[in-house]
Every structure is written in C-alpha cells, then in structure tokens.
C-alpha cells in the first residue's frame, strides 16, 4: 500500500513536470502559449508543493531548474556578462512583507527601519539587453536561459525607442529593459494579420516576442514594437548611485522610461502603490501583470547580490491570476426554481481575480461529458471527473466557470461522472427537452428543492427583499409545514405570532425580540414596486432586467395583469405588443403566456394581492416631453449606441418598442433607415432625426 502511494506521487510529479516543460517550451521558444500565466503559475505552485512534501521522489528531469529557455538555434548566441535574471514573485501582501524583512535581515538593518524602494508597473513583454560600445549599439540579446541569449541585434535596430548611438556614454554600457506592444496597436496588428490570413497572436506579449524573434528584420520593422529601459547590466557607481538617479541618466541617454514609477518608503507605501497601479491597470495602454519593487540604493543592491535565479534586491508583486488550476473535490447537482438541474463543481479554494473561489458552474451534463450545446466535441472530448485538476476563471462578476482540465493528476481508478436519473430534490422524473441541453424536474410545486428555490428567490434582494428571512429560515419553516407558498410568508404572524398555538418565538434559536423583528420586516415589504413583484414571481426567462422593462412599459400591475391574462386567453395583438417591447424576446414572452395560463398562478396571485400592495414602477416618475410616449429607433445612430439611446429614452419616461404600430408616437431615424421609415410615414407617425430627438427630450 505504501509503495502504491509512492507510485502515485511519482506519477503525478512526472506528469506535472511534463506539462510544465511543454507549456514552458511553447511559451518561451515558440511564442504561442498553451496555458495562461495564471494556469502556468498554479501548475508550477502545485508541482513545487508536491516536490517539497516529497523531496526524495523528484524526477531527474526537474523542469523548475530550467524555466526560461535555452536559446533557439535559429539565432546566434550572446553570452550575458552579468546574468539576465528573472525576478522572484510575490503573490500576496505576506510575501511582500517577508521580502522587505529578508532584505533588512541581509543588510543587518533594524526591522523598524523603512527602506527606500522604487516601484513600477511590471510590463508583460520580453526582456532585452542592449550592449553599447563607445556609444554605439553593438548587440541586442534576449534573456534566453539567463546566461546565454539570442542575438536579435538586426531586429532591435528597427525599434524606434532604442537609440542606436549614445553621446557621452561610458566605453561599455549595457542597458536592459522590456520590449512590448501597446494594447491598441496589438489589436490593429491582429486585424492586419487576419486580413492577410497570417498568424493571430494570443496576446500582446506573444506578439512582441514573436516579432522580436524574427529571422527577417523586414517583418520586425513593420511591427509596432516599443522599449522601456529600466536597468543596467552592471551596477555602475559612475553613472548613478540609486535606481531613481539611474532612470534620469537613462532618460538623458535618449531611452524611453516608464513615467509611472514611484519612490516608496517602507513596505506600506509599496502596498499602496500596488493598489494604485492595480486600480488603473485597465486604463493603461500596455499589459501589466504586477508591480516590481527594487531596493533604491545601489550600494545596498550590491551587498544583496543574487541567488541562482533571481536578484535579492527586487521582487515582482503579481496581480491575482484571472484563472488558475485547482482540484475538483465533488460535483453537486442543484435544482433551480424552475426545475433546471445544474451541476456545480466544488473546488479546493483558489484565488481568482482577487476573490477566493470554491465552486464553479459545470453548465450541464454534455459539458461534463465533453460536448458543447450543439453536440460538438470540446476539450478533445475528454470528460470531467471528480479528482481532476480544472482551470477556473471569472469573467466580470458572474459565477466562476471551468475552462479546461488537466489530466496530470487523474488516477487509474477515477470514474466518469454519472448524471442522476431522478431529481435529487424530490426523486421525481427528469425530462430532457429535444432542443435544450438542460435537464429539468417537472414535479413543480411537489418538488421540495424547487419550492425552496422559488421561495428564496421571492424573498431575495431583487424580489420583495425581506430581511431576516434567508435560506436557513425558509428551509426550517418549510420542513415544519409553516411555509409552502410565498403567501404563507405574509400569514406567518397570524399563524405563528405570540398568541398562536405554535408561536415562532418558542422555536429553538428564536425569541420574542427576533420573532417580532421578522414580522416587522415582513410587514415592511408589503408595499412592493411593480418590477420587484414581477421578478419575485420567478417566471422563467423573466429576470431582473426583463422585469424592469415590463414594469416600465406597463406601468401598473392592473394594466400588466390584464394584458397577461388577455395573452393567456389567446389575444394575439396583446401578445404581439409584448413581443415587440424592446428588450423582450420571444422566449420571455412565451414563458409569460405559459405562466399566466396556469390555475396555480391565478390562485397564487389572487392570494398574494390580499397581502401586498403593488406600487407603480419607481422609475416612471420622470416628467419630460416624451413621458408615456411609445417610440421606435431605426437606422444607425451617431451620438450613442442603440442600447444607450434606449436606456436614455426610458429614463426620460418613454416606452421603447421594436416595431411601428398604432401606439407608436415617434420614430427616431438614424442613417440607412428602410422599411420602418416607410411604414411610419404610411401610418402618419411623427419622424425625427437623432438631433431633433435629443433637442425634444431636453426641451
Ligand atoms: Zn424535483
């Protein structure tokens, strides 16, 4: 058994080592990454951890010792007199604090001493060493493996930011810096590549690396390469005594230096600068993957020296990864309020985009099996299994998603995941619709999971927002038989108040005060805005945005309800009207019709309206020359996008529709308007240009 465990670890280490080596080669030598930086870093971190725990099982071919890359044989070799080292990384505040402490320990300074540092954005480009002899550019070399780099002089001379001659330079001068491409120019470059059917670059860094490492300098010449200078190959006391001074010297030599650098005293100022650069990251026109801190004083730098791979006087504080590998611990099936079954990945907690993530969506059964919604193979058709390493990412603030899997840690005894064949919430039958990849439980109100989800949705912030009534309370009241529909919430005080047979205050964990508080907050929610009420009903494809659109359009519950009942009874013109509201799709319209057709809905709504008072949509208070009018946009607008124009019109109290009808009051016409304009003229609808419309609204 012990040997078996050993075997597994050796297999894991070897498999991880292979993955790292391959990814590293693709990244450094072929400039076409297999993995994102975050994914690569997380694999390396896993490997290092496993290696540390099992120091005697490390494979001979340890890839960590040779990250970076041997120079490609396509280029002549250049030896770096002073190794061109990479920086060690800090992944969090603690690492930075430890770095600062270790520097002071090494220098024999008091821990209370506040050291001077220079902090600057870490540009995601390619390091380049430029050697000048008697002021003339002699060689330009990539990092390579740190000791020997590739000679790319013929390409470097095509970069405008790199001076070819320097006046008043020392006899030998080596300047180091980063070759990069601006984000804006990167996009143009890819557009150009696409038009020529040439290789599309994955990111600006790869484009920069691929452009610099060209055999034909004519190609490099036409690439928008730039260069920031930031250090010297040798620390020369003759030139400067600190990093801060050096930057001035480099600038005087004619180099471009990054203006966004900061002098910092002590570790707290470093961390503040990090925040500052992190916040403006998106607005910078170059890719930044962290902040570099350098001990400012050159005599300190000299004492500190270097380890085998990195200097002791600098560190790169990396931004949180946007995606990362982590272990899939289990797959849970959640039942949504409309009966949809969603598989959720429970993960070993991992930091992504600065947030700890411990679960991610797995979309549906097909996704787990290795197919997309259209039945095409994804991930080469490899399925996802519990125990796998999965790469997780967040896009915006939405639920984290699983991007890919890595088989390095999959063991022989791992088993495919089987989707349940009955509902985990009620044991009911599952149905998979032909044209949908989702599986649903159709038990409706007899499915415990669905009822609980509907109830949770009803009381949520976007619904009637009842403080003190959360998931835990709902489950406990449901299991006691106190709540089975949202109506019961508003009867809780009547049925379970202090003078009732089963008073809430007598339940475990409840008391007089907390029970009163809950009843009060339920009473507070009896006045409910129309959009919140519609959303609270939990109709499929009718979420927050659609509810708001409906509330703005129909204004009052009476009108909305009447129209919905007409639609349910088959009145086609009302259905048409609904379907024509800008922002309402056919799917939502269909679901609304189905919802209001049901007897169950009729009863629920009737009972709810005895308990609550639905108020007009709050956003309809604006009085403007267009409030209440139905307007249609057509053609392409100049001043704003269609969606901006729409939300502006709604803010001004207008209703926006997609088609010309008897209700249309104004057609706003942009360039290239066609059939709608004709129709509007036929129907005698007022037609305005974009300018006229803006003037009218603002009058
Ligand atoms: Zn069910």
Predicted local distance difference test score (pLDDT) of residue 236: 58
Q: What angle do CA 117, 120, 124 make, to 5 degrees?
A: 140
Same structural domain, 688 and 614: no
Can you tell me whether residue 138 is helix, strand or coil? strand
How far, in whole angstroms, is CA 184 from its chain's centroid? 21
Mean pLDDT value of segment 135-163: 91
Which three-class secondary structure state does DSSP give residue 642? helix
What is the average per-residue pLDDT within 82-107? 91
The verdict on residue 579 lying in a domain is yes
For 323-376, write each residue's pLDDT tens digit.
Answer: 899 999 999 999 988 888 999 999 999 888 778 899 999 988 899 999 988 889
Going from the C-alpha of 669 to that of each of 512, 677, 685, the distances in angstroms are: 63, 7, 12
Q: What CATH code is carried by the domain that includes residue 494?
A: 1.10.150.20
Q: Cα separations (Å) of 508 from 476, 498, 511?
A: 11, 15, 8
Residue 71 lies in a domain: no
Q: Of 440, 455, 472, which residue is a domain's last?
A: 440
| Res. 243: pLDDT tops 80 | yes
Are residues 428 and 448 located together in one domain of the fold? no
Same domain, 533 and 572: yes
Distances (CA, A) of 162 to 228, 257, 322, 437: 9, 11, 33, 55
pLDDT exceeds cutoff 50 at 644: yes
Mean pLDDT of 181-199: 90
Residues 6 or more apart from 16 whose CB is under 8 A from it? Answer: 43, 46, 47, 50, 408, 409
Sign of CA dihedral 464, 467, 472, 474: negative
Ligand 1 centroid to 451 CA: how many Å? 9
Residue 591 lies in a domain: yes
3-state secondary structure of 378: coil
Confidence of residue 679 (pLDDT cuts 50, 70, 90): confident
Tokens of 618: 């709050």
Q: What is the largest CA-CA distance in the chain?
A: 98
Beta-ladder partners of 210: none
> Is residue 520 a part of any domain in this protein?
yes
Using CA atoms, how far apart are residues 563 and 408, in angstroms rounded to an integer?
58
Q: Are residues 504 and 413 in the same domain?
A: no
Measured over the CA atoms of residue 119, residue 120, residue 125 and residue 128, the dihedral's sign is negative
Q: What is the pLDDT of residue 65?
A: 59
Q: In angstroms, rounded to a whole number, what is the distance separating the alpha carbons of residues 447 and 478?
A: 12
Asked whether residue 349 falls in the same domain as residue 264, the answer is no
pLDDT greater than 50 at residue 1: no
The answer on pLDDT for 680 being more than 80 is yes
pLDDT-derived band of residue 691, with 50, 70 and 90 as boundaries?
confident
CATH number for 412: 2.40.50.140
Query: Dihedrals φ, ψ of 428, to 5°?
Result: -75, 170
* Cβ atoms of residues 298 and 240 within 8 Å: yes
Q: What is the pLDDT of residues 384-398, one digit of tens each?
A: 999 999 999 886 656
Q: The domain that contains 656 carries what CATH number?
A: 3.40.50.10190
Last residue of a domain, one of 318, 343, 377: 318
Residue spans of alpha helices (H) in 264-325: 266-280, 298-304
- 138 falls in which pLDDT band (50, 70, 90)? very high
Structure tokens at 280: 């403006």
Q: Which residues contact 435 (CB under 8 A, 6 or more apart)?
A: none
The tokens describing 156, both together, are 């470097």
User: How many angstroms is it from 360 CA to the middle of ligand 1?
Assistant: 22
Distance of alpha carbon 692 from the chain centroid? 40
Alpha carbon of 450 to ligand 1 centroid (Å): 6
Specify the pLDDT at position 13: 86
Q: From the centroid of its chain, how far is CA 676?
A: 39
Whether the Cβ atoms of residue 536 and residue 486 lie closer than 8 Å to each other:
yes
Query: CA 236 to CA 248: how far, in whole Å?
Result: 14
CA of 603 to the centre of ligand 1 (A): 22
118 & 173 share domain: yes
Q: Which of 122, 131, 294, 646 is catalytic?
A: 122
Spell out the alpha helix ranges (H) of 93-133: 93-107
Which residues are bridge partners to 288 per DSSP? 123
199 noted as active-site residue: no
Structural domains counted in the chain: 6
**CA–CA–CA angle 522, 524, 529 (5° rounding):** 105
State whether 193 and 294 are in the same domain: yes
Q: Is 553 exposed, middle or buried (0-12, 13-18, 19+ CB in 10 A)?
A: buried
Q: What does the angle CA 100 – CA 105 – CA 108 come to, to the nearest 5 degrees?
A: 125
In a domain, 399, yes or no: yes
**Buried-exposed string 501-535: b where 16+ CB fall within 10 A, e elsewhere:** eeebbebeebeeeebeebbeebeebeebbbbbbbb
Residue 236 CA, ligand 1 centroid: distance in Å: 74
User: Are residue 250 and residue 175 in the same domain, yes or no?
Assistant: yes
Closest CA to 202 of 215, 189, 216: 189
Lowest mean pLDDT across 83-92, 226-235, 392-401: 392-401
CB-based contact 284:278 (threshold 8 Å): no
In a domain, 72, yes or no: no
How far is ligand 1, taken at its centre, from the CA of residue 438, in Å?
14
Give the pLDDT of residue 48.
85
Query: In 3D, which of 161, 170, 169, 171 has the Cα closest to residue 140?
Result: 161
Non-local CB neighbours of 468 within 8 Å, separated by 6+ positions: 514, 517, 518, 521
Q: Give pLDDT, residue 375.
A: 84
Question: What whole-number distance in Å separates Cα of residue 222 and Cα of residue 192?
Answer: 11
pLDDT of the residue at 69: 60
Same domain, 124 and 273: yes
Decide which of 412, 440, 468 is a domain's last residue. Answer: 440
For residues 494-504, give the mean pLDDT: 92
pLDDT of 574? 94
Which two tokens mark 486? Answer: 């949202």
Q: How confident is the model at residue 619 (pLDDT cuts 50, 70, 90)?
A: low
CATH number for the domain harbouring residue 29: 1.10.287.610
Residue 294 lies in a domain: yes
What is the C-alpha separation between 445 and 467, in angstroms, rounded? 24
Same domain, 399 and 311: no
Q: How confident is the model at residue 474 (pLDDT cuts 50, 70, 90)?
A: very high
Q: Which residues pair with 345 in a beta bridge?
A: 331, 360
Model confidence band, residue 377 (pLDDT cutoffs 50, 70, 90): very high
Can you tell me the distance from the alpha carbon of 564 to that of 597, in angstroms, rounded to the nearest whole number? 9
Average pLDDT over residues 171-192: 92
In a domain, 24, yes or no: yes
- Distance CA(677)–CA(112), nearest Å, equals 75
Q: How far, in Å, is the centroid of ligand 1 from the Cα of 427?
A: 6
CA of 547 to the centre of ligand 1 (A): 26
| Confidence at residue 618, expressed as pLDDT on a 0 to 100 scale | 54
CA 454 to CA 425: how far, in whole Å? 13
- State residue 354 phi and psi, 5-degree precision: 85, 5
Question: Using CA atoms, how far apart are residues 616 and 636, in angstroms rounded to an integer?
Answer: 33
The pairing of beta strand 664-669 with beta strand 630-634: parallel
Residue 298 CA to residue 35 CA, distance in Å, equals 37
Mean of per-residue pLDDT scores for the chain: 88
- 575, 597 in Cβ contact below 8 A? no
Which run of H or of E encompasses 594?
A: helix 586-597
Query: Which CA distances in Å does 24 have to 14, 27, 28, 70, 285?
Result: 15, 5, 6, 11, 26
CA of 600 to the centre of ligand 1 (A): 17
d(CA 255, CA 35): 33
Q: How far is the CA of 421 from the centre of ligand 1 (A)?
A: 11
Expressed in angstroms and rounded, the spacing between residue 443 Cα and the centre of ligand 1 is 5
Please check whether residues 305 and 203 belong to one and the same domain. yes
Cα 223 to chain centroid distance, Å, stands at 30
Q: Which backbone phi and psi does 291 adopt, to 5 degrees?
A: -125, 135
The reported pTM is 0.62
Residue 94: other Cβ atoms inside 10 A: 9
Share of the chain above pLDDT 90, in %: 45
Cβ pair 575, 567 in contact under 8 A: yes
Lowest mean pLDDT among 217-221, 242-246, 486-490, 672-676: 672-676
What is the CATH classification number for the domain harbouring 250? 3.30.470.30
Point out the least confidently predicted range of 286-295, 392-401, 464-473, 554-563: 392-401
Total residues found in the chain within this entry: 699
Separation between Cα atoms, residue 102 and residue 270, nearest integer Å: 15
pLDDT band of residue 455 (cuts 50, 70, 90) is very high
Report the separation in Å between the CA atom of 349 and the middle of ligand 1, taken as the mean of its atom positions: 29
In the predicted structure, residue 187 carries a pLDDT above the cut 60: yes
Residue 490 domain boundaries: 443-525
The separation between CA 314 and the C-alpha centre of its own chain, rounded to angstroms, equals 29
Both 156 and 266 in a single domain?
yes
């Amino acid at each position: 058994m012990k040997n078996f465990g050993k075997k597994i670890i050796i297999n894991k280490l070897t498999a991880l080592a292979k993955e790292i080596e391959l990814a590293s080669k693709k990244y450094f030598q072929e400039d076409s990454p297999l993995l994102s930086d975050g994914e690569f870093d997380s694999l390396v971190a896993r490997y290092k951890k496993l290696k540390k725990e099992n120091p005697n099982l490390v494979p001979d071919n340890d890839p960590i010792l040779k990250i970076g890359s041997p120079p490609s044989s396509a280029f002549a070799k250049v030896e770096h007199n002073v190794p061109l080292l990479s920086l060690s990384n800090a992944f969090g505040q603690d690492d930075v604090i430890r770095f600062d402490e270790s520097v002071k320990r090494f220098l024999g300074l008091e821990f209370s001493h506040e050291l001077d540092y220079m902090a600057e954005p870490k540009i995601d480009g390619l390091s380049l060493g430029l050697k000048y002899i008697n002021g003339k550019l002699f060689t330009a070399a990539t990092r390579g493996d740190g000791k020997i780099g590739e000679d790319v002089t013929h390409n470097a001379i095509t970069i405008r930011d790199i001076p070819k001659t320097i006046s008043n330079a020392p006899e030998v001068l080596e300047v180091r810096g980063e070759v990069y491409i601006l984000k804006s120019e990167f996009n143009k470059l890819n557009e150009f590549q696409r038009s020529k059917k040439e290789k599309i670059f994955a990111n600006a860094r790869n484009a920069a690396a691929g452009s610099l490492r060209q055999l034909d300098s004519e190609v490099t010449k036409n690439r928008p390469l730039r260069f920031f200078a930031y250090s010297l190959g040798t620390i020369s006391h003759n030139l400067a005594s600190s990093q801060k001074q050096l930057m001035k010297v480099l600038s005087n030599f004619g180099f471009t230096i990054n203006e966004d650098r900061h002098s910092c005293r002590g570790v707290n100022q470093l961390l503040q600068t990090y925040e500052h650069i992190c916040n403006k990251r998106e607005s910078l026109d170059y890719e930044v993957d962290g902040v570099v801190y350098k001990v400012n004083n050159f005599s300190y730098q000299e004492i500190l020296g270097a380890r085998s791979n990195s200097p002791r006087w600098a560190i790169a504080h990396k931004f949180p990864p946007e995606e990362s590998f982590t272990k899939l611990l289990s797959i849970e099936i959640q039942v949504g309020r409309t009966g949809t079954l969603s598989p959720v990945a429970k993960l070993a907690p991992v930091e992504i985009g600065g947030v700890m993530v411990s679960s991610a969506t797995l979309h549906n059964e097909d996704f787990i099996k290795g197919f997309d919604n259209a039945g095409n193979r994804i991930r080469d058709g490899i399925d996802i299994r519990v125990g796998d390493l999965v790469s997780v990412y967040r896009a915006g603030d939405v639920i984290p998603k699983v991007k890919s899997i890595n088989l390095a840690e999959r063991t022989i005894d791992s088993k495919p995941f089987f989707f349940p064949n009955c509902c985990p919430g009620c044991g009911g039958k599952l149905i998979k619709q032909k044209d949908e990849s989702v599986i649903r439980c159709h038990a409706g109100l007899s499915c415990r999971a669905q009822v609980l989800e509907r109830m949770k949705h009803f009381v949520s912030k976007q619904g009637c927002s009842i403080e003190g009534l959360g998931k835990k309370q709902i489950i406990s009241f449901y299991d006691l038989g106190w709540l089975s529909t949202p109506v019961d919430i508003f009867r809780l005080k009547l049925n379970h108040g202090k003078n009732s047979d089963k008073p809430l205050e007598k339940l475990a964990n409840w008391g007089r005060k907390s029970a009163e508080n809950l009843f009060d907050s339920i009473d507070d929610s009896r006045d409910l805005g129309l959009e919140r009420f519609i959303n609270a009903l939990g109709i499929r494809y009718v979420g927050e945005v659609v509810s708001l659109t409906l509330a703005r359009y129909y204004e009052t519950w009476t009108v909305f309800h009447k129209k919905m009942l007409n639609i349910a009874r088959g009145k086609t013109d009302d259905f048409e009207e609904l379907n024509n509201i800008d922002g309402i799709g056919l799917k939502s319209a269909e679901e609304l019709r189905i919802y209001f057709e049901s007897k169950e809905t009729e009863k629920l709504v009737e009972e709810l309206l005895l308990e609550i008072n639905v108020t007009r949509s709050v956003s309809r208070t604006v009085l403007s020359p267009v409030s209440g009018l139905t307007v249609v946009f057509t053609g392409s607008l100049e001043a704003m996008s269609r969606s901006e124009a729409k939300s502006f019109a709604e803010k001004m109290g207008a209703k926006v529709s997609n088609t010309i009808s008897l209700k249309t009051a104004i057609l706003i016409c942009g360039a290239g308007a066609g059939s709608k304009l004709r129709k509007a003229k036929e129907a005698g609808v007022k037609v305005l240009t974009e300018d006229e419309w803006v003037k009218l609204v603002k009058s």
